[in-house]
Structure 1
Amino acid sequence: MDSGIECPLSKFADDTKLCGVVDMLEGRDSIQRDLDRLERWSHAKLMKFNKAKCKVLHVGQGNPKHNYRLGEEWIESSPEEKDLGVLIDEKLNMSWQCTSETQKANHILHCIKTSVTSRSREVILAFYSALVRPHLDYCVKLWGPQDKKDMELLERVQRRPRR
């Protein structure tokens, strides 16, 4: 699959990502040549790409946002993408991730509150540690919140069990 590919190519399970810098037309052409190579490889190996799941994420300011195709089909552009559970947008802003994880944590807290009859600190803390905290830890360890609103959002979830 990697044979002749010029741009960085990453593979994980059934996920393939092709990356490239497009500061000049040569960069755009290089990415398109690699997409053509991947399409030829997939036909030769009888392993078709799910073109409905193929997306282009244009990252960075001043990105010319070129269009690319895989075979005869144009690849749709997307303002954000999820990669291995991490939501990233075109500005590399991780606030989406923070919002998503705090929503999950708040939902779990609500489920604990409505389904656990005991209100003892030890019981609530055990549920919180096992079910809620991993979402917040994952969110924070991944990128370290830098926006004040993201930090406040995470802290608000952490204060909820104390009420």
Structure 2
Amino acid sequence: MSANGLNGETKENTKMEGPVLELVLFNIFVRDMDSGIKCTLSQFADDTKMCGVVDMLEGRDAIQRAQDTLERWDCANIMKFNKAKYKVRHLGHGNLRHKYKLGREWIDSSPEEKDLGVLVDEKLNMSQQCMLAAQKANCILGCIKRSVATRLRGVILPLYSALMRHHLVYCVQLSGSQHRKDMDLLEQVQRRP
């Protein structure tokens, strides 16, 4: 029996290397980022989103204080946020569209942003997302039509399913039947010969 008690076997399968170790270390490093912040902070991979309700000036001030806290965390941990990616998205009717700063720089406002691959505007409307999905699906259908000589169902259907269908169903359930014209557009692509 060897000193490690494993009959000469090594423990290489428990070793963390490369990307896995990087993600673990990154998560450990940023886990205290939200300490002292009263707003909602959502983190996905290396993306962080801060959300807050601003119905009174206190809400605006709370978001600005959270921004200041993030800036202090940034300096203390010698980690630089990509300020070019910072955007403020104002949601809701009658929004006063307050301005916010990160450090000394004003943060730009954006009427629409792509979040996890879904394009959403300030009215939470997904019409643009549906239009882009239909456009991409039409391009793929055109490529299939130009590249495949046969029109046999047994050939076209697997190509359709593998290459195009996921573009049409990605996040469509979010819009539901809220906007019939968007659903009609996607269905029109599906019926295309």
- The bucket for the TM-score relative to the shorter chain is over 0.9
| Structure 1 residues without counterparts, runs of 5 or longer | none
- 2:126 is the alignment partner of 1:98: no
After the TM superposition, which residues 36-51 of structure 1 pair with which residues of structure 2 at under 5 Å, given as runs? Answer: 36-51=68-83
Correspondence for 1:64 among 90, 96, 102: 96
- Structure 1 residue aligned with 2:114: 82
Deviation at 1:151, TM superposition (A): 1.3
| Structure 2 residues without counterparts, runs of 5 or longer | 1-32
Aligned length: 161
| 8 A Cα contact 1:101 1:139, kept in partner | no
CA distance in 1, matches of 2:173, 2:179: 15
1:44-66 deviation digits (Å, cap 9, x = unpaired): 11111110110000000000000
Q: Cα RMSD over matched residues?
A: 1.0
CA distance in 2, matches of 1:28, 1:83: 23
Percent identity, aligned pairs only, is 70
- 2:95 is the alignment partner of 1:54: no
- Structure 2 residue aligned with 1:159: 191
CA distance in 2, matches of 1:102, 1:153: 7
Which TM-score applies when normalising by structure 2? 0.81
1:120-147 deviation digits (Å, cap 9, x = unpaired): 1111111111111111111422332421
Counterpart AA for 1:127: L
- Structure 2 residue aligned with 1:127: 159
Deviation at 1:26, TM superposition (A): 0.2
- Computing the radius of gyration from Cα coordinates, the structure with the larger value is 2
Which TM-score applies when normalising by structure 1? 0.95
1:87-144 deviation digits (Å, cap 9, x = unpaired): 1100010111111111111111111111112211111111111111111111422332
- Structure 1 residue aligned with 2:150: 118
Counterpart AA for 2:179: D
- 2:187 is the alignment partner of 1:148: no
Task: Choose 100-109 or 138-147, whichever is displaced more.
Answer: 138-147
Q: Which secondary structure state, in structure 2, belongs to the residue aligned with residue 125 of structure 1?
A: helix
Deviation at 1:20, TM superposition (A): 0.6
Superposition misfits of 4+ residues, deviation over 4 angstroms: none
CA distance in 2, matches of 1:115, 1:40: 56
Counterpart AA for 2:40: P
CA distance in 1, matches of 2:106, 2:88: 10
